[in-house]
């Protein structure tokens, strides 16, 4: 039986954290470390080959105790169980939230509306594997009998960011004889640039859209069909050059794609949680079915860790609670994600959607307006590039920006001393952020008095260091699941619904209304505000010139 859960700010642990924050907010990491020689070893956790050093956070043992207490009082364990069980925890859409079922092992049973969904998941995976195998081997031919050399994923949001990120992250494992491109933006430039040097005869489009009605994706898919048919001149070519990933079979066949070449998924997979569903078809073609399954095994290992491990040793729980601590008590507005691995260059963009679309909510599940901060802004770039641009603000600006530094002990491309140099930057940055440089240290270096304030680093900037052996498909799955479950943890504490996205839906509706009004010959009366009306008129007349 679930225990009744008190509203966030009236939980005893929340109140205790408020008082505790006042007591410790002035403490410096320099002093915290000086008082405890074991801290750097103690405040770490490791699971599934992912090592987390969270010692350089502005927390004491008491803070951690209270945060874990807060998780308990928030009913986190019950909520985790409810998600894994397939309860309809996405209440505004009346849906289960079962991305964890996408990586369930064959022997598991997860029942939604009376049906065990695990066999269906594996059926789709098998179908994807068979198709990927045919494309990779050259057995799948284009309409004129040519082997596919280019695969273009058309999708947006959750149907794009995961596939792009995974392709970039796992490029080392990908089949280099096939080009992979990704078209998402409705700006025609995206499509034009992706196809300008390609031949329709050896190009395969994957139209990835859960609903198959998204304006951007359908516009790009229609342009892709026109581009293909301009050369191949036979509607029958569509079946050889287009496949679909969708939950909407009717819409897919309306478009002209053979539903035999449709890869399905389910309404209990949210867009931003779908890179390991059929939405990952481009990933599977790139890295092969075996590597894709290894990625799923990585997701699953982190799922099991999250589901079964006590909070005190639970990586996503620790990370999620630290974000709550900074967002609500230090009032930090952002979190920087800084992967020290060039292959993870799209990981921050991927996490932006995962975190901000999930926890960018201002009402609780039961509709009350929150009185505290929820989802922080996530952003970042790979190291060491970021060090030469925005790190200045993190080190010496006026804002507190908790950082996640992600790194691997081994490089997939060991070149000379590059990797040691890269890794020295990881450790040095985390060290400098935490400990800074005092005015005394700067003076001792012989710096002129006038420059001392400029060269002084306050330090006390918190960071996590996430360290793993090397980047594999399995490791990527673990890292993504780590953040998925951290987001879940935060959402539970904040009592918000992390799995709907009404803000995104709004955008989809608003643009549809304006499209016909942009026609220069349209005489329809404009009924917007005066600014929008004037902008539309200006656009119309500029277009007409």
334 binds ligand G6Q, rule: CB under 6 A: no
Per annotation, catalytic residue among 357, 381, 484, 495: 357
User: What do you get for the CA distance between the two ends of the chain, in Å?
Assistant: 69
217 binds ligand G6Q, rule: CB under 6 A: yes
What is the rounded distance in angstroms from the CA atom of residue 70 to the CA atom of residue 15? 10
95 binds ligand G6Q, rule: CB under 6 A: no
* Cβ-proximal residues to 340 (8 Å cutoff; 6+ apart), any chain: 382, 383, 384, 405, 406, 407, 408, 422, 423, 425, 426
* Cβ-proximal residues to 465 (8 Å cutoff; 6+ apart), any chain: 52, 53, 56, 405, 407, 426, 427, 430
272 or 478: CB nearest ligand G6Q: 272
Q: Do the Cβ atoms of 98 and 82 come closer than 8 Å?
A: no
Q: Return the sign of the alpha-carbon dihedral for residues 352, 353, 358, 360.
A: positive
485 binds ligand G6Q, rule: CB under 6 A: no
57 or 153: CB nearest ligand G6Q: 153
Rg (CA), the chain: 25
290 or 505: CB nearest ligand G6Q: 505
400 or 504: CB nearest ligand G6Q: 504
- How many other C-beta atoms are found inside a 10 Å radius of the C-beta of residue 390? 17
Tell me the closest approach of the beta carbon of residue 512 to ligand G6Q, in angstroms: 13
- Piece in contact with ligand G6Q (CB under 6 A), picked from 10-18, 209-217, 305-313, 326-334: 209-217
404 binds ligand G6Q, rule: CB under 6 A: no
What is the rounded distance in angstroms from the CA atom of residue 517 to the CA atom of residue 150? 37
277 binds ligand G6Q, rule: CB under 6 A: no
Residues 151-190, mask of contacts with ligand G6Q (x by CB under 6 A): -----xxxx-------------------------------
Catalytic site includes residue 357 = yes
215 binds ligand G6Q, rule: CB under 6 A: no
What is the rounded distance in angstroms from the CA atom of residue 60 to the CA atom of residue 314? 17
Tell me the closest approach of the beta carbon of residue 322 to ligand G6Q, in angstroms: 24
Question: What are the beta bridge partners of residue 112?
Answer: 115
497 binds ligand G6Q, rule: CB under 6 A: no
Residue with tokens 């609780």: 364
Q: Do the Cβ atoms of 266 and 124 come closer than 8 Å?
A: no
356 binds ligand G6Q, rule: CB under 6 A: no
Tell me the closest approach of the beta carbon of residue 356 to ligand G6Q, in angstroms: 11
Using the CB atoms, write b or e for 467-481: b if 16+ within 10 Å.
bbeebbbbbbbbbbb
Tell me the closest approach of the beta carbon of residue 257 to ligand G6Q, in angstroms: 14
282 binds ligand G6Q, rule: CB under 6 A: no
63 binds ligand G6Q, rule: CB under 6 A: no
16 or 249: CB nearest ligand G6Q: 249
Q: Which stretches of 57-112 are assigned E, i.e. beta strand?
A: 111-112
156 or 496: CB nearest ligand G6Q: 156
Tell me the closest approach of the beta carbon of residue 268 to ligand G6Q, in angstroms: 13
* Cβ-proximal residues to 10 (8 Å cutoff; 6+ apart), any chain: none
What is the rounded distance in angstroms from the CA atom of residue 356 to the CA atom of residue 500? 11
Tell me the closest approach of the beta carbon of residue 211 to ligand G6Q, in angstroms: 3
* Cβ-proximal residues to 294 (8 Å cutoff; 6+ apart), any chain: 472, 473, 474, 477
225 or 272: CB nearest ligand G6Q: 272
Q: Do the Cβ atoms of 252 and 243 come closer than 8 Å?
A: no
* Nearest residue to 408 (alpha-carbon basis) of 324, 485, 339, 491: 339
Tell me the closest approach of the beta carbon of residue 493 to ligand G6Q, in angstroms: 21
Q: Do the Cβ atoms of 28 and 459 come closer than 8 Å?
A: yes
211 or 364: CB nearest ligand G6Q: 211
242 or 340: CB nearest ligand G6Q: 242
Tell me the closest approach of the beta carbon of residue 274 to ligand G6Q, in angstroms: 7
Which residues in the 306-325 window bind ligand G6Q by CB under 6 A? none
79 binds ligand G6Q, rule: CB under 6 A: no
Please list the helix, strand and coil fractions of the chain in percent, rounded to the nearest 5, in that order: 55, 10, 35
Considering only 20, 79, 210, 395, the residue that binds ligand G6Q (CB under 6 A) is 210
Considering only 20, 99, 272, 485, the residue that binds ligand G6Q (CB under 6 A) is 272
Per annotation, catalytic residue among 15, 508, 528, 543: 508
Q: Do the Cβ atoms of 400 and 332 come closer than 8 Å?
A: yes
* Cβ-proximal residues to 358 (8 Å cutoff; 6+ apart), any chain: 272, 375, 487, 491, 498, 499
Considering only 27, 44, 211, 334, the residue that binds ligand G6Q (CB under 6 A) is 211
Per annotation, catalytic residue among 106, 388, 527, 545: 388
Considering only 365, 412, 504, 535, the residue that binds ligand G6Q (CB under 6 A) is 504
209 binds ligand G6Q, rule: CB under 6 A: yes
Considering only 357, 404, 495, 517, the residue that binds ligand G6Q (CB under 6 A) is 357
- Piece in contact with ligand G6Q (CB under 6 A), picked from 66-74, 269-277, 335-343, 360-368: 269-277
514 binds ligand G6Q, rule: CB under 6 A: no
Within 13 Å of residue 441, how many CA atoms lie on the same side as its CB? 10
271 binds ligand G6Q, rule: CB under 6 A: yes
Catalytic site includes residue 240 = no
* Cβ-proximal residues to 80 (8 Å cutoff; 6+ apart), any chain: 306, 307, 488
Residues contributing to the site for ligand G6Q (CB under 6 A): 156-159, 209-211, 214, 217, 270-272, 357, 501, 504
Residues classed as catalytic = 357, 388, 508
């Amino acid at each position: 039986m679930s225990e009744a859960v008190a509203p966030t700010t009236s939980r005893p642990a929340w109140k205790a954290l408020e008082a505790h924050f006042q007591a410790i907010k002035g403490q410096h990491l320099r002093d915290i470390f000086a008082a405890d020689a074991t801290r750097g070893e103690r405040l770490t956790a490791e699971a599934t080959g992912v090592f987390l050093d969270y010692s350089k956070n502005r927390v004491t043992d008491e803070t951690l105790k209270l945060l874990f207490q807060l998780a308990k009082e928030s009913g986190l364990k019950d909520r985790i169980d409810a998600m894994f069980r397939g309860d309809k925890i996405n209440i505004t859409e009346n849906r289960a939230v079962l991305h964890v079922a996408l990586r369930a092992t064959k022997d598991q049973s997860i029942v939604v509306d009376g049906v065990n969904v695990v066999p269906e998941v594996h059926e789709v995976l098998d179908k994807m594997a068979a198709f990927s195998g045919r494309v990779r081997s050259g057995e799948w031919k284009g309409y004129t009998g040519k082997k596919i050399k280019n695969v273009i994923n058309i999708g947006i949001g959750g149907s794009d960011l995961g596939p792009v990120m995974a392709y970039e992250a796992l490029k080392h494992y990908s089949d280099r004889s096939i080009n992979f491109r990704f078209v998402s933006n409705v700006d025609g430039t995206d499509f034009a640039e992706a196809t300008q040097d390609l031949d329709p005869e050896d190009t395969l489009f994957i139209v990835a859209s859960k609903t198959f009605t998204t304006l951007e994706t359908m516009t790009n898919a229609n342009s892709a069909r026109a581009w293909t048919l301009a050369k191949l001149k036979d509607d029958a070519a569509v079946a050889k050059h287009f496949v679909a990933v969708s939950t909407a079979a009717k819409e897919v066949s309306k478009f002209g794609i053979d539903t035999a070449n449709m890869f399905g998924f389910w309404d209990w997979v949210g867009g931003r949680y779908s890179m390991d569903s059929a939405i990952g078809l481009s990933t599977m073609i790139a890295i092969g079915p075996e590597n894709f399954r290894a990625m799923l095994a990585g997701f699953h290992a982190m799922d099991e860790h999250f589901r079964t491990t006590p909070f005190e040793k639970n990586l996503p729980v620790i990370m999620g609670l630290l974000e709550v601590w900074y967002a609500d008590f230090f009032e930090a507005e952002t979190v920087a994600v800084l992967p020290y691995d060039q292959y993870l260059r799209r990981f921050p963009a991927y996490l932006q959607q995962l975190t901000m679309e999930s926890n960018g909510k201002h009402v609780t599940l039961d509709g009350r307006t929150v009185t505290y901060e929820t989802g922080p802004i996530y952003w970042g770039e790979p190291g060491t590039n970021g060090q030469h641009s925005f790190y200045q603000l993190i080190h010496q600006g006026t804002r507190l920006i908790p950082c996640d530094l992600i790194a691997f002990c081994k490089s997939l491309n060991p070149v000379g001393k590059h990797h040691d140099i890269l890794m020295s930057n990881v450790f040095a940055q985390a060290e400098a952020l935490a400990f800074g440089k005092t005015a005394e240290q700067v003076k001792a270096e012989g710096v002129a008095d006038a420059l001392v304030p400029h060269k002084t680093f306050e330090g006390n900037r918190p960071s996590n260091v996430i360290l793993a052996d090397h980047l594999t498909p399995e490791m990527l799955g673990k890292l993504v699941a780590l953040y998925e479950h951290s987001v879940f943890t935060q959402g539970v504490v904040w009592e918000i619904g992390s799995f709907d996205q009404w803000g995104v839906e709004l955008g989809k509706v608003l643009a549809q209304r304006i499209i016909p009004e942009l026609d220069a010959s349209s005489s329809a009366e404009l009924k917007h505000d005066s600014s929008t009306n004037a902008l539309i008129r200006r656009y119309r007349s500029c277009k007409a010139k």
